[in-house]
Amino acid sequence: MTFLSDIIAFETVMVAILIPLSIEIISRISERYNSEVLIYVFQKHWGYKILFPLLLFNLVVLIILKFFMTKEYTNSLVWKIIAWIMLFIFIIIAIIVGLVINRIIKFVSDPKYVLDQLYQNVKKNLE
């Protein structure tokens, strides 16, 4: 059951780092390119849209499990299935965090990537 505490701590750190980082990056993008469209493109990315709700949902579930599980219940098959599901969701969250951070780095450091994103947005809106 200690792995629940580890996952809770790790996900809390992710939330604490990613929310201010995202706000900072969005303001930098806005200042650098003077474009509201870029902010829209950045925020509409599927990884960015699902990451925070998934993190918060998983944190709530993990905290509930941590505080409401009794010792005799942790030996049951149901507990083992729930634990594997939580571990699987944690791995998915870690992958999405990596993708979002990679995208943040590209937005900040690669103007060609930013232009490509704008072009894709225009192309998508024209279709």
How far apart, in whole angstroms, are the C-alpha atoms of residue 19 and residue 25?
Answer: 10
pLDDT of 64 reads: 80
pLDDT by residue (tens digit) across 23-38? Answer: 787 777 777 777 677 7
pLDDT by residue (tens digit) across 90-106? Answer: 889 889 888 888 888 88
Confidence band of 74 (pLDDT split at 50, 70, 90): low
| Cα 114-115-116 angle, rounded to 5 deg | 90
CB-CB contact of 29 with 38 (8 Å): yes
pLDDT of 1 reads: 55
pTM of the model: 0.73
